[in-house]
Chains A and B, each alone.
Chain A
Amino acid sequence: MKKLITLLLAVLIVFGMTACGNGGGGNEGGGAEAETIRIGVVSTFSGNNSGHGEYCKEGAELWKEEVNANGGINGKLVELVYEDNGDTNESYQSAFVKMLSEDNVVAVYSNGFSDQVTMVIPDADTYQIPFLAGNSSQACLNQGSDYYWMIRLSDAIVSPTMANACVDLLNMSKVAILQVNDSYGDGMADFVEEALKARGAEVALRLSFDGDVVQFNSYLAQVEAAGVDGIVGIAHQEQCGPLMMQIDAAEIDVPLMGCSQFATALAIDTAGESADGWYSLADWTNEADTETAQAFVKAYTEKWGRVPDMQSVVCYDAMHILQAAIESIDGEITPAAINEAIYKTNNIVGAMSTYKCDSSNPAYEHCLGQSIFTTQTVNGSGVVIGVAQR
């Protein structure tokens, strides 16, 4: 009797589950594929980082509106499909596989964290669907996948630029690196350390902290004691604020160089006056002075009533790259054809950078971005002081 009840319960759950699976598949629609181009966006819409997802979606929606207003791509309207990747790595993979296997999309964009992207690149290979990602970890490029595309500049490319800026612009010779201890921070810090050493600067200290740490005083005491003449910070958006505040409070008066997160609106807003004087190598700043960048900021602000974040602009540009790739296809629009077309990406002007697939260097072939801004925070906004080409 008891077993029977349990069985019934289990059967119920199982059927509920499969029904849900079919329900999920149901929205594919029968004939819809023929008329629209479906592009997938996997991002975080719930949980701790849902802010990323919102910005990302706004960027994508802005692009969709522009494209569809002009009659779509090659006469076909664009449809965006979203999947929420939740909080954990497992849920990220589920969402990603769902997008690839059930949502009938021709390409996928995702702004997952580096370790998550690393995890799902083999899936993109399996399903042979081009996967454009908003991360910047060299480890992902090193996997040598055919279908993975990096929109931003890889850490390995940015790092020498950062080292040059540190040495030439800020005259650092003895540097302390403060890094967050995750895939992003660790990978980047390795490259920066190497690049600094190559430029003859000494890395006196390299201190790492977890992603949830917000008190840096004991680290800063050590930085002070080491007598460095420059600090390089690599941290998450949420940590940048407290880190800048505490460095300011500790009155450590040396030039400061941060990763792109230090130039984000969130970091600058939370740090207040303490953010002034930080240099940053930023993929994006709302003060970017190119024509396309200004046009993007204007359109975005008008549409959403707030200024864009890096997440929105990377997504927006990724969509532009896809658009160009799809436009260049003569025959049927298939994932494989789009992937082939992305290989021919050449000088597409996006809001953030120009994009080009450079096959002369196989290690960076899948890294499409071409330039990065050097900014300094002045009075609460990131002023562009230079554009470094790759």
Chain B
Amino acid sequence: MTKRLLNRKTIIGAVSLLLFVLLFYLYIPNNTGAYTITVWNSALIYFMANIGTAIMLGSCGMVSFASPAFMGLGAYTSVYICMNYGVNPFITMLIGMLVSMLFAVLIGMALMRLNGTFFTFSTVALCQIAYTVYNGWKPVTGGPNGIPRVPQFTAFGWVAKTYFDNYYVLLTIAIIAFVLANRLGKTNFGRAMNSVRDNELVAKTTGINVFRTKVTAFAIAAGFAGIAGACLAHSTHYVVSTYFTYSNATMYIIQVMIGGVYNIVGVFAGTILITMLPEWLRPLQEYIKLVYGVGVILLMIFMPMGIWGLGSDFIKRIKKRYHIKDNVTPIGVLAEDQEVGK
């Protein structure tokens, strides 16, 4: 293993990571205006929530519309504790995440008995119920007026006052989330999820508890969503029920699918693309949603594995062309080679 540490691949990996970090921490904030940073901020928040959706979809093979519900749970829990007991937002955020996961375990135990389409539709229902509760339960959620002036992120006397400050906070959390999610795929549990996705029956015969795996995946997804929701509340200084609607859920699913569900980098690319698209296509204004809809359909037809899928296809083709043999199959390619679903 120690020898491997210095091979070409690791160096490339380390250099690209360093470049990435420099790019995101130094280049972007110094070269964009406050407005672009707000767009980046929401993209980072969506990304965190989308990691959860991607785990459900790419690893476990289940379409879940529930992420706004858990985002709301994380956000309101965090804000409630933060504002009523004066606890630091970073701590309440984690509490929010735990509460989301706890609820997800309870709900998951009921919903995971359903399969396929039924499960998907039950998450739609869940999303509707959650929205109605957030909109109706005024003493806690502020009802339709929401809760304005939510405390900002603070740590050791430093306060995230501007959108740039928030950007650094969100970026750091997103990177942590990214690393965690990436690690997760390489653990036994990650492989268990993949086998559940590919064939439940086979998974069962190899001794995997399918039900427990699914519930755990749902809880993990909820955890990511919870963090994202709390970040949304603390970085926009406001939380309101309209953040957590069903139409947002459809947008998250599209972001995940467009990027490619098998890889977290793909999810990131998809999230950025969909969040930035309206900014790039500003001249089209009136027709933007039309273009967007057509684009989604075309993407699904021509590259159902999303941007990442296209990228890895491209690499495969190049490798074939130049007869490069790859002895270590990267995650993602492995999954695409196999028949998924049935």
* B39 contacts the other chain (CB 8 A): yes
Q: How far is the CB of A146 from chain B (nearest CB, A)?
A: 15
Please list 9 pairs of residues, one from A and one from B, whose beta carbons are closer than 8 Å in the complex, sorted by A's number.
A7-B20, A10-B272, A14-B28, A20-B36, A94-B39, A101-B34, A119-B237, A126-B162, A181-B144
Which chain B residue lies CB-closest to A127?
B34
User: Which residues of A are found within 8 Å of B32, using beta-carbon distances?
Assistant: 17-18, 21-22
Q: How far is the CB of A76 from chain B (nearest CB, A)?
A: 25
**B interface, how many residues as a size bin?**
35 or more
Complex contact B269–A13 (CB within 8 A): yes
Which residues of A25-48 have CB atoms within 8 Å of chain B's CB atoms?
A: 25, 45-47
Q: How far is the CB of B22 from chain A (nearest CB, A)?
A: 11
A46 in contact with B237 given A7-B16, A93-B38, A182-B144 (CB within 8 Å)? no
Chain A: interface residue total (CB-CB under 8 A): 55
* A222 contacts the other chain (CB 8 A): no
Complex contact A115–B145 (CB within 8 A): yes
Complex contact A97–B280 (CB within 8 A): no
Complex contact B36–A21 (CB within 8 A): yes
User: Which residues of B are found within 8 Å of A16, using beta-carbon distances?
Assistant: 276, 280
Complex contact B33–A118 (CB within 8 A): no
What's the Cα separation between A217 and B238 when bound, in Å? 35
Complex contact B269–A115 (CB within 8 A): no
User: Which residues of B are found within 8 Å of A89, using beta-carbon distances?
Assistant: 240, 242-243
* A9 contacts the other chain (CB 8 A): yes
Binding site for B on A (CB under 8 A): 1-7, 9-11, 13-14, 16-18, 20-22, 24-25, 45-47, 50, 84, 86, 88-91, 93-94, 97-98, 100-102, 114-115, 118-119, 121-122, 126, 137, 139, 143, 181-187, 210
* B216 contacts the other chain (CB 8 A): no
Which chain A residue lies CB-closest to B31?
A18
Complex contact B279–A10 (CB within 8 A): no
A18 in contact with B315 given A89-B243, A143-B148, A181-B144 (CB within 8 Å)? no
Binding site for A on B (CB under 8 A): 12-13, 16, 19-20, 23-24, 27-28, 31-36, 38-40, 42, 132, 135-136, 143-146, 148-149, 162-163, 236-238, 240, 242-243, 248, 265, 268-269, 272-273, 276, 278-280, 282, 285-286, 288-289, 307-308, 311-312, 314-315, 318-319, 324, 330
Which chain B residue lies CB-closest to A84?
B285
Complex contact A4–B16 (CB within 8 A): yes
Which chain A residue lies CB-closest to B326?
A1
Q: How far is the CB of B153 from chain A (nearest CB, A)?
A: 15
Which chain B residue lies CB-closest to A91?
B278
What's the Cα separation between A382 and B104 when bound, in Å? 52
Complex contact B145–A181 (CB within 8 A): no
Complex contact B269–A102 (CB within 8 A): no
What's the Cα separation between A382 and B79 when bound, in Å? 45
A186 in contact with B145 given A10-B268, A18-B31, A90-B42 (CB within 8 Å)? yes
Complex contact A7–B315 (CB within 8 A): no
